[in-house]
Amino acid sequence: MKPSIKALIVLLAVLLPACLLGLGERPVYKIQEVRIAETAREMLASGDWAVPRYNGELRLQKPPLPYWLTAASYRLAGVSEAATRLPAVLFGLFSALLLWVWVRRASGDRSAANCALVLVASYIGLRYCRSGEADSVLLFFVSSACLLGFDILHGRRDGQRPALFGLALGLGFLSKGPAALAIPLLTLVLMALIDKRAGRFSARWKDFFSVAGVALLLLTALGWYAWIVWKFPDIAEQFFAKQVDETFVSGSHAKPLWWYLAHWFDFFAPWGVLIIPAGWMACRRAAPELPPLVRLAWVWLAVVLMLLTATVNKQMQYALLLAPPLAIVLGHYLAQSEGGFARANRILFSLFCVAAMAGVIVALRKSSDIPLALTWLALPIAPLLVQRLLRESSLSAPVLLVAGITAMAYLYSEAHLSNEPRKVAAQTLMAVAAQHAPLYQFRTGLNDGALSFYAGRVVPPVDAAEIAQLLQKQSELWLIGAGVPNLPGLDSQAEMRVEELTLYRLQRKPLAGAK
Q: What is the pLDDT along the chain (515 residues), one digit of tens a residue?
A: 787 889 999 999 999 999 999 899 889 988 899 999 999 999 999 999 999 999 998 888 889 999 999 999 999 999 999 999 999 999 999 999 999 999 999 888 899 999 999 999 999 999 999 999 999 999 999 999 999 999 988 877 677 899 999 999 999 999 998 999 999 999 999 998 888 776 666 667 777 888 899 999 999 999 998 998 888 877 766 666 666 665 555 556 778 889 999 999 999 999 999 999 999 988 876 555 788 999 999 999 999 999 999 888 889 999 999 999 999 999 999 999 888 888 888 898 888 888 887 877 776 676 666 666 667 788 899 999 999 999 888 888 899 999 999 999 898 888 776 667 778 888 888 988 888 889 999 887 656 899 999 999 999 999 888 988 898 888 889 999 887 777 777 888 889 998 888 999 998 876 555 44
CA dist 255 and 241 (Å) reads 21
- Write a three-state SS string for 420-453: CHHHHHHHHHHHHHCCCCCEEEECCCCCCHHHHH
pLDDT given at position 515: 46
Helix (H, G, I), strand (E, B) or coil at 330: helix
CA dist 454 and 28 (Å) reads 9
Neighbours of 397 (CB within 10 A): 12
Query: pTM value?
Result: 0.93
CA dist 259 and 387 (Å) reads 39
Helix (H, G, I), strand (E, B) or coil at 352: helix
Partner residues linked to 476 by β-bridges? 507
Neighbours of 431 (CB within 10 A): 12
pLDDT given at position 301: 97
CA dist 348 and 385 (Å) reads 23
pLDDT given at position 514: 47
CA dist 292 and 426 (Å) reads 50
pLDDT given at position 434: 84
Given its phi and psi angles, is residue 166 left (phi above 0), alpha (psi -120 to 50 degrees) or beta? alpha
Q: What is the DSSP letter of 57?
A: E
CA dist 57 and 39 (Å) reads 10
Q: Which residues contact 462 (CB under 8 A, 6 or more apart)?
A: 440, 441, 442, 443, 470, 479
